[in-house]
Structure 1
Amino acid sequence: MTTSTVKELVLRTAEKQGVPGPVAQEMLTGSRPCLHLVPFQNLTLAQQEEARPAARTGGLPSLPDDVDWPDGREPLLLTVDCAALPREALDIELPPDGHLLFFAEIEYEPESSVVLHVPTGARTTERPATYELDGEPEQARVYPPNVLYPVPGLTVAPDWRDAPATSAFLDGGADRDDILDGFEDAVRDAAAGGASHGVSVQLGGYSSPWQLAPDEGDLVLLAQIHGQSIDHPVYTQTLIVGTREDIAGGHYQALSFEQQV
């Protein structure tokens, strides 16, 4: 979505929700775009007609000949086809092509986690799940593959309600918090074009953590992965953050991973 499109969407939604224009402007100031990666069935019928896959959960990793499965044998959670992402949809810089592979544990706090970029044109082979450890056969966890589709979205900073016009609006009545809750939900739904994205993978934007937000100071969100989007019974949230410079430069070894339950 372009800046003008986002502005029009927020102002139109504010009018429908009974939210004053200055409050809507403060939300805009405190907003960041994101991409939701969702299954085909979570798209609207109109979106399904033009849908192009951009990612896959689970499955086995395809890696260059000189790159092995990460040492900890963390499962492959997500493979993102960078060339299939809408380029204008994010305010962080991802590779223009190739694939980003995310390895991490989602069932308990990961001891180590890895993001790898496999460039376009690299000769790759699919790696087996079986391996040897101290001479004994072992098998890495492999989650069922599921194709995901990109949906542009909008996120807002957790402190946007502290802005002057919004604070004054909140002071005007006990129901104002509920009004703003409804406004935020309506903006997110409108930005996603009606697609269902509550339990999904999110690239960029502000996190929506269950505990303290890890994307503070110089750290921004690269990805937020709900455990249920990988394996439905797993109620965890994996948040991956780094500086804009490290993300843009492909310095993925500098990223931080946090699991919340």
Structure 2
Amino acid sequence: MMPEMLDKLDRYRAEMVRRNIPSGVVEQWIGAALPCATLTLDGGGPVVGRYGGPLLLPPGAPDPEFPFVASLNCADLPGKVTGLPLPPDGRLLLFAFPDLDGGGQVMYVPEGAAVEERVITFEYYDEDPDCLEISKQYPQGELRMAADVSLPFHSSKAKATDHGWRGEDLPWAPYASIHSDLWNVVDGRDFPRGGWVQVGGYALEECMDVTP
């Protein structure tokens, strides 16, 4: 991992020890750390994509199911930062709506592919005008990358049994709330303008399913 990632983990370790969390639990948590990239409008790092802008899709590509949120340049997202085997070039298009089931969608557009601007009107805009208003308020602007590190927030995992799948608590489950609070303290950042996009790492919220 990069020096800034290791420094963040060292500060987290020191704070957990100060709170008398068993050292074995702390090291298991840190051992599960994954690199990730944090993309924001307010950062000072390189530009790797943008929020908003026109939706440019290949002519034969299907319509997305959710509004367009952001585009990311794969060539500008190195694997040592994201921890992901992304394509070496081309763009990732991100689509989402916060109040609709299903979460979101990702589409890949290869480098050099012919594209055209596509304007989409979703049916739920007519059913609920608030959806359209929320989409219009999505942030716009260049996304800048910072190398970051991610720890798991899930406290259980799925385990196969003769009778199907069941949840099994992870070693840090009894300290999950402390972990969440301390990681936010170590993170030390206010909620950035326009939120952020995280590429790689763990989800920031445990789903209802026990598979993180």
- TM-score w.r.t. the length of structure 1 is 0.55
CA distance in 2, matches of 1:90, 1:156: 13
The AA in structure 2 aligned to 1:67 is A
Render the CA deviation track for 1:112-170: whole Å, top value 9, x for unaligned: 95422111111222234579x9xxxxxxx664532211222222222399538x96xx6
RMSD (Å) for aligned C-alpha atoms:
3.9
SS of residue paired to 1:185 = helix
Within the candidate set 201, 204, 208, 1:208 is matched to: 204
CA distance in 1, matches of 2:81, 2:19: 26
SS of residue paired to 1:54 = strand
Change (3 A) 1:14 1:113: closer
**Is residue 58–residue 146 contact of structure 1 (8 Å, CA) maintained in 2?**
yes
CA distance in 2, matches of 1:108, 1:9: 34
CA distance in 2, matches of 1:177, 1:108: 27
Change (3 A) 1:76 1:211: same
CA distance in 2, matches of 1:177, 1:124: 46
The AA in structure 1 aligned to 2:27 is Q
Question: Counterpart of 1:11?
Answer: 10
The AA in structure 2 aligned to 1:58 is G
Question: Counterpart of 1:90?
Answer: 82
CA distance in 1, matches of 2:13, 2:32: 15
**Is residue 14–residue 183 contact of structure 1 (8 Å, CA) maintained in 2?**
no
Question: Counterpart of 2:70?
Answer: 78
CA distance in 2, matches of 1:195, 1:96: 32
Question: Counterpart of 1:184?
Answer: 183
Change (3 A) 1:151 1:5: closer
Question: Counterpart of 2:160?
Answer: none
1:119 aligns with 2:110: yes
Within the candidate set 137, 144, 147, 1:149 is matched to: 144
Within the candidate set 155, 158, 178, 1:159 is matched to: 155
- TM-score w.r.t. the length of structure 2 is 0.65
Change (3 A) 1:36 1:89: same
CA distance in 1, matches of 2:51, 2:183: 28
Change (3 A) 1:162 1:98: same
CA distance in 2, matches of 1:215, 1:197: 29
CA distance in 2, matches of 1:16, 1:68: 49
SS of residue paired to 2:80 = helix
- The count of residues paired between Structure 1 and Structure 2 equals 184
CA distance in 2, matches of 1:14, 1:66: 50
TM superposition shift of 1:84: 1.3
Change (3 A) 1:108 1:11: closer
Equivalent pairs: percent with the same residue? 22
Question: Counterpart of 2:33?
Answer: 31
Within the candidate set 61, 78, 85, 2:55 is matched to: 61
CA distance in 2, matches of 1:129, 1:12: 46
Question: Counterpart of 1:240?
Answer: none
SS of residue paired to 2:37 = strand
Unaligned runs of 5+ in 1: 134-140, 171-175, 217-261
**Is residue 36–residue 201 contact of structure 1 (8 Å, CA) maintained in 2?**
yes
The AA in structure 1 aligned to 2:197 is V
Change (3 A) 1:196 1:8: same
Change (3 A) 1:30 1:210: closer
Question: Counterpart of 1:105?
Answer: 97
CA distance in 2, matches of 1:182, 1:209: 13
Change (3 A) 1:81 1:214: farther
